[in-house]
Amino acid sequence: MTLHRVLVANRGEIAVRIIRACRDLGMETVQVHSSADENSLPVKLADESVLIGPPPASQSYLLPKVLVEAALKTGCDAVHPGYGFLSENAEFAELCAQAGLRFIGPSAEVIRLMGDKSAARRAAIEAGVPVTPGSTDPIVDRAEGLKLAREIGFPVLIKASAGGGGRGMRVVESEAGFDAALDSATREAESAFGNGEVYIEKYLPRVRHIEVQIMGDGVDIVHFGERDCSIQRRHQKLVEESPSPALSEKQRADIADAACRLARKVAYCGAGTMEFILDPASGDFYFIEMNTRIQVEHPVTEMVTNSDLVKMQLVIADTGKLPVTQDDVVFCGHAIECRINAEDPERGFMPKPGKLTDLILPSGPGVRVDSHVYQGYDLPPYYDSLMAKVITWGRDREEALARMKRALGEMEITGVPSTVAFHQRLLSEPAFLEGDVHTRFVRESMWAGHPMQGML
Ligand code: ADP
Ligand code: ADP
Ligand code: MG
C-alpha cells in the first residue's frame, strides 16, 4: 500500500462504509464533520476527526478548500468523497490532485465529461450507445426550447445538466406547461447546483430504471451486472435489486456491453454507474446518465458478486490497477435493498428529522444493514433523510424477498417517521412480487387517489 491515511469527505452511512473498507485494508481514517455531526457514528469510528464548520453543508461538507486543508493538516494522503456532496465535483478532484492528495474517483477531466449530463449524452452517442431522444445542447432560448420540444414530441423532460438526486427535473405534459417548467427547472438547478443549464429529452412513461455497475483502471473495464431501481418517488430510488427481474439474458448482456463500451470510450478509472431506462414493451434501452462515484445502492451488487466495491475503489486508487478481471466476477443469487428514510410516506414522503428514542435493527441469515444511526441519535435536519439501508440476499428472488419481509418485521424505529411501513406494503403488492413495475408505480398504483399523489 502506498496510501496510508484517508480523509472521509462525507457523512452518514457512506462515511461509516468507507471507514470499514479502510480498516479492512489497514488504512487509517480521518472523519470530517460539521458541528451538527459531532456525535455521529463515523466520528466515533474513525481514527481521528476534524471539525470543518457549521451545520449547513454549504458552509462545511461542500467547501473544497476547507476539506483539502483538513486532509493536509491531519496528514492524509487520500480523500474519499462518498456520494452526493462533492463526489462529482471536478474542481474538488483537481484541488486534491494539486495538493498531492489522491482523489478516490476518476480524474477531474473525466468527471467533467461524464458528470455533466448533456456532455455524457454526447459521449454516449459517440460510443454508439443509444440515448433517449432529445437534444445534446443546452437550451439557451425559450422559443428554441419550445420548438425542440415540439419536434421531440410531448411529454418531454427538462433536465439540469448538473442535476442529481431527482432535482432540477420537470416533466412537461403539453405545450401549455413548457414555459413555467423551464423557469422552475432552471431556478432549481441554479440554487441546488449553482448551474442553471438545462436540456430536453423525450419523457418515456412506464419505463424501468436499469443501471450497470462498472469498475475501471483507465485501461481495463469490468462490469458487475445490473441493478433494477424502478421503485421510485419524485425520480428518487426507494428500492433496488439485482439481477433485474425484467431482463432476458440477451438484454442483460447487451446493456452491460453498452455500459462497458461507454466506459472504455472515456478510459474510465474507478467505480462508476451507467444509468439506463428500459422500455419493457419494446425491449429498447436508453442511456440517461453516468454517476462517476460509488452509489447508495452498491451493496446490492456486493451481495450478488461477493465483492467489496469500496475496498476496490481504494485499491484502484492505490495501485492504479483493477484487482479483478471479468472472469473473476461471479454472480450468485439475488439481492434487494430498501432505503429506510426518516420520512412520512403518508404525507408525500416528507422528511422529518428528530431523536431516535427506540431503535431495533434487523439481522440474521442473509441480512445486511448499512447505517449510521443508533438508539438516542438525534438526526440533524440539515442533511439527507437516509437512516439505514436494509439489504437481503437469497439464492433466488423469492428467498431474498422473504428475508426482507422478515427483516422489516423485526425493525422498530420510534421518535421519527420511517419508510418501513411503505416497504412492507410494497412487499405485498402482487405487481411488485411478480417483478412487473415501472418508475411511476408508487405514484400511479400505490398512491392512486391519495391526497398526496401529486407530490410523488
Ligand atoms: P444514487 O445515484 O447513488 O442512487 P441518489 O440519487 O439517491 O443516489 O443520491 C445520493 C445522494 O447524493 C443524495 O443525497 C442526493 O441528493 C445526492 N446527489 C446525487 N447527485 C448529486 C449531485 N449531482 N449534486 C448534489 N447532490 C447529489
Ligand atoms: P438524477 O441525476 O437526479 O438521478 P436521472 O437522469 O438519473 O437523474 O433521472 C432520475 C430518474 O428520472 C430516473 O431514474 C427515471 O426514473 C427518471 N427519468 C429520467 N429520464 C427519463 C426519461 N427520459 N423518461 C422517463 N423517465 C426518466
Ligand atoms: Mg440518476
DSSP letters, 347-379, are: GTSEE---B--EEE---STTEEEEE---TT-B-
> Domain boundaries in the chain?
5-104, 133-202, 208-455
Q: What is the residue-level pLDDT of the chain in tens, covering all 456 positions?
A: 899 999 999 999 999 999 999 999 999 999 999 999 999 999 999 999 999 999 999 999 999 999 999 999 999 999 999 999 999 999 999 999 999 999 999 999 999 999 999 999 999 999 999 999 998 889 989 999 999 999 999 999 999 999 998 899 999 999 999 999 999 999 999 988 889 999 999 999 899 999 999 999 999 999 999 999 999 999 999 999 999 999 999 999 999 999 999 999 999 999 999 999 999 999 999 999 999 999 999 999 999 999 999 999 999 999 999 999 999 999 999 999 999 999 999 999 999 999 999 999 999 999 999 999 999 999 999 999 999 999 999 999 999 999 999 999 999 999 999 999 999 999 999 999 999 999 999 999 999 999 999 999
Cβ contact 259:214 at 8 Å? yes
**pLDDT attached to residue 289:** 97
**pLDDT attached to residue 79:** 98
**Cell 472521509 maps to which residue?**
8
Residue 277 neighbours by CB distance under 10 Å? 20
**pLDDT attached to residue 136:** 81
- Eight-class DSSP state of 131: B
| Closest ligand 2 atom, residue 117 Cα | 6
**pLDDT attached to residue 193:** 87
Question: Which ligand sits closest to the CA of 117?
Answer: 2
Cβ contact 76:18 at 8 Å? no
- Eight-class DSSP state of 134: B
**pLDDT attached to residue 194:** 86
Q: Class assignment of domain 133-202?
A: alpha beta
Query: In the structure grid, which three cell numbers stand for residue 282, read together?
Result: 419494446
Q: How far apart are CA 254 and CA 187, in angstroms?
A: 38
Task: Tell me how many helices (H) and strands (E) the chain has.
Answer: 15, 20
Query: In the structure grid, which three cell numbers stand for residue 100, read together?
Result: 498531492
Please tell me the residue having the least CA distance from ligand 1 atom 23.
Answer: 164
Amino acid at 432: F
| Closest ligand 2 atom, residue 291 Cα | 2
Cβ contact 52:33 at 8 Å? yes
Question: Which residues have CB under 8 Å from 349's CB, separation 6+?
Answer: 233, 234, 341, 343, 419, 455, 456
- Measuring from each residue's beta carbon to the nearest atom of ligand 1, which residues come in under 6 Å? 83-84, 88, 164-165, 193, 236-237, 291, 295-297, 384
Burial class of 223 by CB neighbour count within 10 A (0 to 12, 13 to 18, 19+): buried
In degrees and rounded to multiples of 5, residue 94 shows phi and psi of -65, -45
**pLDDT attached to residue 1:** 83
What are the catalytic residues? 293
- pTM listed for this prediction: 0.97
| Architecture (CATH level 2) of domain 208-455 | 2-Layer Sandwich (3.30)
Query: In the structure grid, which three cell numbers stand for residue 209, read together?
Result: 430504471
Q: ω before 81 within 30° of 0 (cis)?
A: no
**pLDDT attached to residue 51:** 98
In degrees and rounded to multiples of 5, residue 234 shows phi and psi of 50, 40
Q: How far apart are CA 125 and CA 132, in angstroms?
A: 10
| Architecture (CATH level 2) of domain 5-104 | 3-Layer(aba) Sandwich (3.40)
Please tell me the residue having the least CA distance from ligand 2 atom 22.
Answer: 203
- Measuring from each residue's beta carbon to the nearest atom of ligand 2, which residues come in under 6 Å? 132, 157, 163-166, 201-204, 207, 209, 232, 235, 275, 277, 288-289, 439
Would you give the end-to-end CA distance of the chain in angstroms? 47
